[in-house]
Structure 1
Amino acid sequence: MSSRLRFLFSLAAAIAAASLLAAALRRRAPPSGLAARLVPAPMAAAAARNRSFVLWLHGLGDSGPANEPIRNFFSAPEFRLTKWAFPSAPNSPVSCNHGAVMPSWFDIHELPMSSGSPQDDSGVLKAVENVHAMIDKEVADGIPPENIFVCGFSQGGRTSALHCALTLASVLLYPKTLGGGAVFSGWLPFGSSVTERISPEARKAYPGLGHSISKEELYSLESWIKNHLKASQEKEN
């Protein structure tokens, strides 16, 4: 065999060997960028358990984006993995405002409300279904139900003698136990005979507040959710 043929055979063998080695390395190597995304299983599980979700429901005529600055009051480390949502109610006629179309979770027939006021039960239940759909999405994404909180202001949290509207109804009617709900500038269908039974430790007054939200209220809410999340994390650990 001539020296030229021996050289060509050697070159072909070297190329074949290099191709086989490259193929083997490709089979063993992780996909591009995967190594940087890999997280040890215990750490990933702990991060998932520590995630939380706060859903904020605005009042009549308001919007979700207008309430987004509220999240700035929640700066504790426990909120590092918190996801926030500020949805906007659909535009619909509101009876108590002479049928004017505005952002409203459900219809309100009259203000002020009383135990005998007409109730938009179907509208409230439809709104609750929408809230539950938002919660279901976060649960499916791995957030524990006990780390989910629903908060509402005015119409978003208002309650009546016939049903608990939106915030309370969403929490009470959800099939799994949630972290809790917070109502701002709503009212409960209890007379003085019942409210007098509430212990002093369970009462918190905000003098001169009116129909609005104060910084003190938000700090109280932050403390309450933070303590709940800390207890949840300690239980899991």
Structure 2
Amino acid sequence: MARSFVLWLHGLGDSGPANEYIKTRFTSPKFKLTEWSFPSAPPNPVTCNCGAVMPSWFDIYKIPITANSRNDENGVLQAVKNVHAMIDKEIAAGMCALALASVLLYPKTLGGGAVLSGWVPFNSSVLDQVSADAKRTPIWWAHGTVDIIVLFEAGQAGPPFLAKAGMSCEFKAYPGHGHYISDEELHNLESWIGARL
């Protein structure tokens, strides 16, 4: 069985090590040879938290996040460069990657990208930068219907945005779920990733 690689990027204020338990939820034999990476975002001031310094991949201006929220596009693009460097390192070691912004702007086809309670962090001008190879990367998107941090409408805006880019996206709504990762989401994600290994 070919080795696989899962790069898990945490949310605002969290850390990589705090998310490492997630790999224990992927119990299918297909994940026996999977390598996992749980990097931590660097400490940055975050506007929505009164400028407090905390682990953040980029700045977030206001919570809740809506489909029309202002985005820190420059910060997102810098974070994408850092994530691409992580992916390149793993590919150079002979592995394939599963890791929205980084997938869209990565010049090659990846095994897949998963978004849990996320949003599109830039405007449609980025669509011109999506390579033909990146368009072949499948996306799985999960979002709780009662998320008060990243509103459900912001999640729902993702698949149409990806369709404009020529990408496929499987969107799964979780009724009654808020801004957290549930066991049900992890089970469904495990099946989705497993089908692509």
Same fold by TM-score greater than 0.5: yes
Corresponding position of 2:155: 188
> Which residue, 91, 100, 109 being the options, matches 2:52?
100
Indicate whether 1:218 and 2:186 are aligned: yes
**AA partner of residue 187 (structure 2):** Y
Counterpart in the other structure of 1:227:
195
Alignment root-mean-square deviation, CA: 2.0
* Aligned residue among 150, 175, 178 for 2:110: 178
Other-structure match for 1:126: 78
1:188–1:69 Cα change, 3 Å: same
Q: Give the drift of 1:110.
A: 1.3
Return the offset for 1:203: 5.3
Which letter does structure 2 place at the counterpart of 1:175?
Answer: P
> Which one has a bigger Cα radius of gyration?
1
- 1:207 positional shift: 2.5
- Tell me how far apart the structure 1 counterparts of residues 67 and 89 of structure 2 sit (CA, whole Å): 35
Matched residue SS, 1:220: helix
Residue 62 of structure 2 is matched in structure 1 by 110
Distance 1:216 1:121, change over 3 A: same
In the alignment, the residues of structure 1 paired with residue 12 and residue 156 of structure 2 have an alpha-carbon distance, to the nearest angstrom, of 20
Q: TM-score normalised to the size of structure 1? A: 0.60
1:74 aligns with 2:41: no
Residues 228 and 116 of structure 1: CA distance in aligned 2, closer, same or farther (over 3 Å): closer
Which residue, 67, 81, 85 being the options, matches 2:37?
Answer: 85
- The CA deviation at 1:117 is 3.3
Structure 1 unaligned segments of length 5 or more: list them: 1-46, 151-167, 196-201, 230-237
* Residue number in structure 1 paired with 2:93: 141
Q: C-alpha distance in 1, partners of 2:80/2:181? A: 23
Moved over 6 A (4+): none
Q: Give the equivalent residue in structure 2 for 1:207.
A: 175
Secondary structure of the 2:192 match is helix
Please tell me the residue identity of whatever aligns with 1:214: S
Which structure: greater strand fraction? 2
Q: Deviations over 1:94-144 (max 9, x none)?
A: 01111011110000111223455332111101110111000000100011x
How many Å apart are 1:76 and its aligned residue? 1.2
- CA drift of 1:75 comes to 1.5
Deviation at 1:169, TM superposition (A): 1.0
Comparing both structures, which one devotes a greater share of its residues to helix?
1
CA contact (8 A) 2:13 2:54 kept: yes
Distance 1:101 1:126 in 2: 18
| Structure 1 partner of 2:125 | none
3-state DSSP of counterpart to 2:54: strand
**Paired-residue identity, %:** 65
1:101 partner amino acid:
V
How many Å apart are 1:211 and its aligned residue?
0.8
